[in-house]
A and B are shown apart, each in its own frame.
Chain A
Amino acid sequence: SQTIHQWPATLVQPVGSPLSLECTVEGTSNPNLYWYRQAAGRGLQLLFYSVGIGQISSEVPQNLSASRPQDRQFILSSKKLLLSDSGFYLCAWVEHSTDTQYFGPGTRLTVL
């Protein structure tokens, strides 16, 4: 069965510091991968998606970036965090036959 991991689970960072969040998927090959952000009490905002190694599409212009160095690894980064980057970051992979997305446990980021 497929499993998706995210770490760290919680992160508190100062404004202007760098960021690296990691997502890995097990039990599937060549998955489509997604990064979402969810602000408190809000819906899911799609940030990036990737259909393969080195292939990244950005949905929202911002100071975040994403990379996919390996088939089952997806990384979200920033060089300098802003207060507005605080939120709950979720990684997901998609079951191609049904377009159904399955989520990791999320990373709660607080920028102070």
Chain B
Amino acid sequence: QKEVEQDPGPLSVPEGAIVSLNCTYSNSAFQYFMWYRQYSRKGPELLMYTYSSGNKEDGRFTAQVDKSSKYISLFIRDSQPSDSATYLCAMASNYQLIWGAGTKLIIKP
């Protein structure tokens, strides 16, 4: 079993839809949870960062962490074609990041 599981997609939704991206993990020691966005042929860029459980909101993006279920989510409201990218989850403990494989998201105009 991988430490972090993430559906690779692709996930295709119409413009304006609410998008839900998810990761599950097995190591209860993870304390920091991140979502990165990666456009084609570019390095990943940090999108959201959450410490421990709870929700964090930034504009159209909401990150949610449920440590009891070992499950994290990223919600995108009012999705735009410019949101089309690969979204990677990552979890940290002791300076090591464990990465999900990434979900390719396609927003259709």
Contact = CB atoms under 8 A, between A and B. Distances in A.
Contacts of B92: 98-100
A38 to B, nearest CB: 9
A44 B90 CA distance: 10
B88 A104 contact: no
Interface stretch (B12-20, B57-65, B70-78, B97-105): B97-105
A43 B102 contact: yes
A41 B41 CA distance: 11
Interface residues of A, number: 23
A43 B100 CA distance: 7
B102 A103 contact: no
Interface in B45-92: 45-46, 49, 51, 88, 90, 92
Interface string A41-52: 111101001010
B106 to A, nearest CB: 14
From A41, A104, A108, residue with most partner B Cβ within 10 Å:
A41
Nearest to B49: A100
A53 interface: no
A42 B101 contact: yes
Contacts of B8: 41
Interface of B: 6, 8, 31-32, 34, 41-46, 49, 51, 88, 90, 92-93, 95-97, 99-102, 104
Sorted nearest first, the 7 A-B pairs with minimum C-beta distance are A99-B92, A103-B43, A43-B101, A44-B99, A99-B32, A106-B43, A103-B44
